[in-house]
Amino acid sequence: MQTFKIAVTIAVALFLQVLLSYQFAFFKYVDLSLVVTVYFSLQRTPVLGMLTGLTAGLGGDAISGGILGVGGFTKTLIGYIISMASVRLSLENRVIQLAVAAVASLVNTLLFVGLYQVLEQGQSLEQVLPYTGSWEGLGRATGWKALADTVAAIFVFAALDRVFREQTAARRMAIKRRFYE
């Protein structure tokens, strides 16, 4: 049942990503599949973080029509790194989680562009990320993406905490036992 709920969450995130980016210009900067990956990576289970990142990334690649696997690789790597950090550190504070989402957005964008530059060297930045035309534009877009993903994370994390209420309560109890007792 838990796996089904996670799969539906990823599918809804991808659907909303496509729908909202056509309706609102701001949503071209938001990566809901990354935000969902960060949320599940913070659950202190590295395999869950990696599989969520892989599924969300490959789904995003399939929808966007780019090189299949680039988004999957970047989100899998981010899911693993955040999951391992959450195992070793207490990342339960919402402000810290939002900072993690912002850093994940920056790293995801830079990895994504870097991989595209390596795999298809003939492409310009405009072809990789449609709203950037130069390296200066990439820096500006990366900052806007980090801000947009962080704002989206506020709402997505709150919604997913309600959907996965029992998992959230169990995680908090385990963290209290590990770090505070």
Convert the pLDDT of each residue in 10-40 to its tens digit.
999 999 999 998 899 888 899 999 999 999 9
Convert the pLDDT of each residue in 33-49 to its tens digit.
999 999 999 988 899 99
- Whether this model's pTM surpasses 0.85: yes
Q: How far is CA 133 from CA 1, 128, 137, 141, 142, in A?
A: 44, 10, 6, 10, 12
In the chain, what are the domains?
A: 2-22+30-180 (1.10.1760.20)
Task: Provide the 3-class DSSP secondary structure of residue 24.
Answer: coil
What's the rounded Cα separation, in Å, for the pair 24 and 28? 8
Task: Provide the 3-class DSSP secondary structure of residue 44.
Answer: coil
